[in-house]
């Protein structure tokens, strides 16, 4: 009974204990965990663990290890040096190139638990300490300052004997930025950093690594301030920019001052039309009358009417007789080709053709007659080369007699032959007017009177050219009395030749009616030109009214002395 | 990792050019290439570069193999079947203090033995990977490359030993060293773990060689990388 009572009491106590323990929350400790082992210099190493649940009771931890190939289990020699939950293996306890099998045991009142074993070879877990004594220096240099960073090896690492070989790395960043700039420094213990911005603060850190192992932690940052400086290139560029700006300003000012000449040089003005006598300013002013009047010269534009161009004297011969007399009509090489010569611009007109036309058509044609007044001086000399020279050279001297005679046979201007015509009766005073060239008519006179010259002096008739119409047709009307004062002319007059005195001088008879012609025979230009002396010889011609009255001696090269001598 | 690969490629290029020259100039009749004598410093540099390259390639092979065949929880765990890569009985090279007490000649000898010990396992590893048809071609070619470079490294170490022996260094009898090295226990042959363990051991030994050579370099010459 007592035995049964004891066992029951024991069971009851155990159950109570278990119950109490469970309600109090205590249990065996949970499994700890080895977090890692590290060797800073390949001579010692440390292992850390993480405790598991302690089960509510004070728990102790113990680290046990054994070397590979050996069954001997050792306990951690040093729990304190490396801190809590750590085990430090000193040099004597460290073997290289040998695996350590390490495990941690947690024990409390309720029980114990063992961690997972870990195999560690010391040579593979080397992680050095951080480098020592990091210093940063600002070095002033050209073009700008740079940083010189220097440091020392970690204290425990034995690099001198070659036991451990370390390589270093550093990083820099501006304190306000987030990204680091990393540099590898190899095995050296100093490094220069360039191209840092002026006036900024930088932080520098260094770390190291063995040839086979892990990187150390970064050193605490070293701060440095870069002084303010101006890059030499910047100051140079500023100077260049200022200088260029100054040059640009000077250039712009010069161009502005001389802008007109620059404009003239770059954009030369287009030359405008240059019309002589044309004044564009007048045009601008709007006074067109003045402008146009300035354009008017003596010769242009012709302001006279057709009437001014009328032939004043026209001697018309009968065609057949003319042919006999002339005999050269057909021989004139030029004549047939110019049946209608209405070239009014030719001063040296083809008197031949004019005469031919006139003769051929009884004076109906007169297109070229306009020129005759101008041509008078020229008509006297045929377009023979030799004669031309002589004739033109002495416009106011009587032509040599022989000239005229030579022309008889020539197939030249009709009037030359006509000059011979009056051989029949040229000398009769008063009848000279009948003779002569029909071509010796002067244009420009108002109311032309023509003398109709015939081989017979008495047969000469005077016709008056009334008008010249637009087709160069002379409208003639016969004159009743060529020499009579009662001839109905409007202001015309012509003079009769009273006598010819031996010195080839014509004595003109003054007529009451004045012929509006120029007194000077040489003055034969224009439409109002007076017939030459020759013409006057042939036609009674009076000088202009208010001018010379009475006899007029005409000593003119155009005087046909041959006629006198007849 | 990217950076490592770049450096690795550069080193490969360098080595391919640099290892063309025969290291042993004494034997001129053996090679048609004219032998150029090389200084001890330069030779040490070259050998060290070889070791660096071997380690990098081996590390890459291991990582690839792990990703292909080893589930994550088992990674890093070696010796599933027990055993170690090399015996610890050989002069303890477990710590810096111990290593610093060893003379240069002994270190060189050690490295020579180490290099020689891997020639056969590498051949076996390559054939194993080829036969199983499960490894990609890149793995096999990389292992081949490692094997070649290891051979060159061995030659270089031999030359260094001869150079240093001329200077009057005492050489330990090779036989004693040979006996110190035990056969690596890699597990069941022709298994995945066998290959994996083999690769892991290779990687470790490559690292060891590199570290020792660097140490040797700093001892032998006044280099800036050592004094700074």
* Interval A130-182: pLDDT, tens: 999 999 999 988 778 899 999 999 999 998 888 999 999 999 999 999 999 99
Q: Environment class of residue A179 by beta-carbon count within 10 Å: exposed (0-12), middle (13-18) or buried (19+)?
A: exposed
Q: Flag if B228 and A189 touch (Cβ within 8 Å).
A: yes
Residue B19 has pLDDT above 60, yes or no: no
Output b/e per residue, A395-416; b: 16+ Cβ within 10 A: bbebbeeebbebbeeebbbbbb
Residue among A95, A119, A161 minimizing CB distance to B215: A161
Cβ neighbours of B142 (radius 10 Å): 17
Supply the pLDDT for residue A526: 41
Q: How far apart are CA A301 and CA A303, in angstroms?
A: 6
Torsion of CA A193, A195, A196, A197, to 10 degrees: 170
**B111 Cβ contact partners less than 8 Å away, ≥ 6 residues apart:** B157, B209, B212, B213
Closest chain A residue by Cα to residue B185: A69
Closest chain A residue by Cα to residue B80: A68
DSSP state of A491: S
Residue pair A209/A170 in contact (Cβ under 8 Å)? The answer is no
Chain A positions touching B94 (Cβ under 8 A) are: 94-98
Chain B positions touching A189 (Cβ under 8 A) are: 228
Residue among B88, B95, B225 minimizing CB distance to A91: B95
The answer, for A163 touching chain B at a CB cutoff of 8 Å, is yes
Residue A265 has pLDDT above 50, yes or no: yes
Phi, psi of A549 (to 5 degrees): -110, 160
Cβ neighbours of A334 (radius 10 Å): 14
Q: Flag if B225 and A165 touch (Cβ within 8 Å).
A: yes
The answer, for A99 touching chain B at a CB cutoff of 8 Å, is yes
Q: Flag if A119 and B78 touch (Cβ within 8 Å).
A: yes
Provide the percentage of residues in chain A whose pLDDT is more than 90: 28
Q: How far apart are CA A125 and CA B67, in angstroms?
A: 20
The pLDDT tens digits of the residues spanning B72-95 come to 776 666 555 445 666 544 556 788
Residue pair A401/A538 in contact (Cβ under 8 Å)? The answer is no
Q: What is the mean pLDDT of residues A475-502?
A: 60
Residue A105 has pLDDT above 80, yes or no: yes
Residue among B83, B207, B227 minimizing CB distance to A123: B207
The answer, for B81 touching chain A at a CB cutoff of 8 Å, is no
Residues 490-519 of A with CB under 8 A from B: none
Mutate to test the interface with B, among A36, A69, A116 (most CBs of B within 10 A): A69
Sheet of A222-225, strand order:
A181-186, A166-174, A201-210, A222-225
Q: Flag if B95 and A43 touch (Cβ within 8 Å).
A: yes
Q: How far apart are CA B99 and CA B107, in angstroms?
A: 8
Q: Band of the pLDDT at A64, cuts 50, 70, 90?
A: very high
DSSP state of A161: T
More confident residue, B210 or A289: B210
Residue among A68, A161, A212 minimizing CB distance to B218: A161
Residue among A165, A188, A189 minimizing CB distance to B214: A165
Mutate to test the interface with A, among B56, B59, B94 (most CBs of A within 10 A): B94
SS3 A48: strand
Q: Report the phi/psi class of residue A430: left, alpha or beta, with left for phi > 0 and alpha for psi in -120 to 50.
A: left
Q: What is the mean pLDDT of residues A34-55?
A: 92
More confident residue, B182 or A427: B182
Q: Which residues pair with A209 in a beta bridge?
A: A167
Mutate to test the interface with A, among B2, B85, B96, B226 (most CBs of A within 10 A): B96
Q: Flag if B88 and A69 touch (Cβ within 8 Å).
A: yes
The pair of three-digit structure tokens given for residue B92, joined into one six-digit string: 């303890």
Q: How far apart are CA A486 and CA A547, in angstroms?
A: 22
Closest chain B residue by Cα to residue A90: B95
Residue pair A46/A87 in contact (Cβ under 8 Å)? The answer is yes
Helices marked H in A141-181: none
Chain A positions touching B211 (Cβ under 8 A) are: 123, 163
Residue (of A565, A497, A498) closest to A535 by Cα position: A497
Q: Environment class of residue A341 by beta-carbon count within 10 Å: exposed (0-12), middle (13-18) or buried (19+)?
A: buried
The answer, for A54 touching chain B at a CB cutoff of 8 Å, is no
A175 Cα to chain B: minimum distance (Å): 29
Q: Band of the pLDDT at A35, cuts 50, 70, 90?
A: very high
The pLDDT tens digits of the residues spanning A430-457 come to 444 444 444 444 444 444 444 444 444 4
Q: Flag if B228 and A187 touch (Cβ within 8 Å).
A: yes
Q: Are strands A461-468 and A474-478 parallel, antiparallel or unpaired?
A: antiparallel
Residue A508 has pLDDT above 80, yes or no: no
Helices marked H in B133-191: 137-167, 174-180
Cβ neighbours of B28 (radius 10 Å): 12
Residue (of A297, A278, A563, A274) closest to A434 by Cα position: A563
Predicted ipTM of the assembly: 0.80
B68 Cα to chain A: minimum distance (Å): 20
The answer, for B215 touching chain A at a CB cutoff of 8 Å, is yes
The pLDDT tens digits of the residues spanning A328-380 come to 444 444 444 444 445 454 444 555 554 444 444 444 444 444 444 444 433 44
B217 Cα to chain A: minimum distance (Å): 8
Helices marked H in A318-383: 319-326, 351-360, 369-379
- A241 to each of A71, A229, A248, how far by Cα in Å? 85, 20, 10
The answer, for A152 touching chain B at a CB cutoff of 8 Å, is no
Closest chain A residue by Cα to residue B81: A69
Supply the pLDDT for residue A40: 94
Chain A positions touching B107 (Cβ under 8 A) are: none
Residue among A68, A96, A118 minimizing CB distance to B79: A68
Phi, psi of B48 (to 5 degrees): -65, -40
Supply the pLDDT for residue B49: 93
Closest chain A residue by Cα to residue B228: A160
Q: Flag if B55 and A68 touch (Cβ within 8 Å).
A: no
**Most confident by average pLDDT, A189-203, A397-411, A500-514, B64-78:** A189-203
Residue pair B177/B86 in contact (Cβ under 8 Å)? The answer is no
Supply the pLDDT for residue A479: 63
Q: Flag if B94 and A91 touch (Cβ within 8 Å).
A: no
Chain A positions touching B216 (Cβ under 8 A) are: 162
Supply the pLDDT for residue B32: 54
Residue pair A211/A205 in contact (Cβ under 8 Å)? The answer is no
Q: Flag if A119 and B204 touch (Cβ within 8 Å).
A: no
Cα Rg, chain A, nearest whole Å: 73
**A221 Cβ contact partners less than 8 Å away, ≥ 6 residues apart:** A203, A204, A205
B57 Cα to chain A: minimum distance (Å): 13
Q: How far apart are CA A521 and CA A503, in angstroms?
A: 18
Closest chain B residue by Cα to residue A167: B225
Residue A251 has pLDDT above 80, yes or no: yes
Q: Is the pTM of this model over 0.80?
A: no
């Amino acid at each position: 009974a007592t035995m049964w009572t004891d066992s029951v009491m024991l069971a009851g106590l155990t159950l109570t204990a278990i119950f109490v323990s469970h309600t109090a929350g205590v249990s065996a400790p949970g499994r700890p965990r080895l977090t890692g082992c590290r060797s800073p210099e390949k001579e010692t190493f440390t292992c850390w663990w993480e405790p598991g649940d302690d089960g509510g009771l004070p728990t102790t931890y113990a680290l046990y290890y054994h070397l590979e190939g050996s069954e001997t289990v050792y306990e951690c020699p040093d729990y304190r040096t490396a801190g809590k939950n750590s085990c430090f293996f000193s040099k004597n306890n460290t073997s290289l190139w040998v695996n350590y099998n390490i495990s941690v045991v947690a024990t409390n009142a309720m029980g114990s638990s063992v961690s997972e074993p870990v195999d560690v070879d010391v040579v593979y877990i080397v992680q050095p300490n951080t480098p020592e004594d990091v210093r940063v220096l600002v070095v002033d240099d050209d073009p700008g300052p740079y940083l010189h960073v220097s440091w020392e090896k970690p204290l425990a690492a034995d690099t001198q004997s070659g036991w451990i070989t370390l390589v270093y790395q550093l990083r820099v960043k501006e304190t306000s930025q987030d990204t680091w700039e990393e540099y590898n420094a190899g095995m050296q213990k100093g490094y220069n950093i360039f191209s840092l911005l002026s006036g900024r603060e930088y932080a520098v850190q260094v770390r190291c690594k063995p040839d086979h192992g892990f990187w150390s932690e970064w050193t605490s940052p070293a701060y440095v301030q870069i002084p303010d400086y101006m890059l030499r290139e910047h100051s140079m560029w500023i100077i260049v920019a200022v200088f260029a700006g100054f040059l640009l300003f000077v250039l712009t000012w010069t161009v502005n001052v001389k802008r007109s000449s620059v404009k003239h040089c770059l954009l030369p003005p287009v030359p405008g039309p240059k019309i002589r006598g044309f004044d564009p300013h007048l045009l601008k002013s709007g006074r067109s009358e003045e402008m146009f009047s300035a354009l008017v010269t003596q010769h242009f534009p012709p302001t006279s009417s057709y009437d001014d161009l009328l032939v004043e004297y026209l001697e018309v011969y009968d065609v057949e007789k003319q042919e006999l007399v002339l005999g050269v009509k057909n021989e004139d090489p030029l004549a047939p080709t110019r049946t209608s010569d209405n070239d009014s611009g030719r001063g040296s007109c083809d008197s031949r053709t004019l005469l031919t036309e006139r003769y051929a058509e009884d004076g109906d044609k007169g297109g070229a007659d306009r020129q005759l007044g101008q041509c008078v001086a020229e008509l006297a000399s045929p377009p023979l080369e030799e004669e031309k020279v002589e004739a033109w050279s002495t416009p106011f001297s009587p032509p040599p007699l022989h000239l005229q005679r030579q022309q008889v046979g020539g197939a030249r201007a009709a009037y030359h032959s006509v000059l011979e015509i009056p051989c029949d009766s040229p000398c009769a005073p008063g009848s000279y007017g009948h003779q002569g060239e029909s071509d010796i008519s002067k244009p420009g006179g108002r109311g032309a009177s023509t003398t109709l010259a015939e081989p017979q002096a008495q047969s000469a008739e005077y016709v008056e050219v009334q008008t010249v119409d637009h087709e160069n047709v002379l409208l003639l009307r016969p004159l009743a009395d060529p020499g009579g004062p009662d001839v109905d002319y409007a202001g015309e007059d012509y003079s009769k030749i009273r006598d010819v005195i031996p010195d080839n001088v014509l004595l003109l008879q003054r007529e009451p009616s004045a012929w509006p012609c120029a007194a000077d025979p040489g003055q034969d230009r224009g439409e109002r030109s007076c017939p030459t002396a020759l013409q006057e010889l042939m036609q009674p011609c009076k000088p202009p009214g208010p001018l010379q009255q009475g006899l007029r001696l005409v000593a003119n090269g155009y005087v046909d002395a041959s006629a006198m001598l007849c | 990792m990217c950076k490592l690969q770049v450096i690795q490629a550069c080193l490969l290029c360098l080595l391919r050019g640099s290892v063309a020259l025969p290291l042993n100039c004494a034997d001129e009749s053996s090679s048609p290439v004219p032998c150029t004598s090389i200084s001890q410093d330069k030779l040490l540099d070259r050998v060290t570069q070889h070791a660096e390259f071997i380690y990098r390639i081996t590390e890459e092979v291991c990582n690839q193999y792990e990703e292909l065949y080893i589930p994550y929880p088992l990674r890093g765990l070696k010796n599933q079947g027990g055993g170690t890569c090399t015996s610890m009985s050989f002069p303890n090279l477990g710590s810096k203090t111990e290593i610093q007490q060893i003379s240069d000649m002994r270190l060189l000898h050690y490295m020579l033995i180490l290099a020689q010990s891997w020639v056969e396992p590498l051949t076996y590893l390559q054939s194993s990977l080829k036969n199983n048809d499960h490894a990609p071609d890149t793995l096999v070619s990389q292992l081949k490359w490692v094997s070649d470079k290891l051979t060159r490294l061995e030659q270089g170490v031999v030359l260094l030993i001869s150079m240093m022996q001329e200077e009057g260094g005492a050489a330990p009898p090779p036989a004693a060293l040979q006996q110190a090295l035990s056969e690596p226990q890699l597990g069941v042959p022709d298994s995945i773990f066998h290959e994996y363990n083999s690769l892991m051991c290779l990687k470790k030994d490559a690292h060891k060689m590199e570290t020792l050579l660097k140490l040797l370099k700093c001892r032998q010459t006044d280099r800036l990388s050592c004094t700074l």
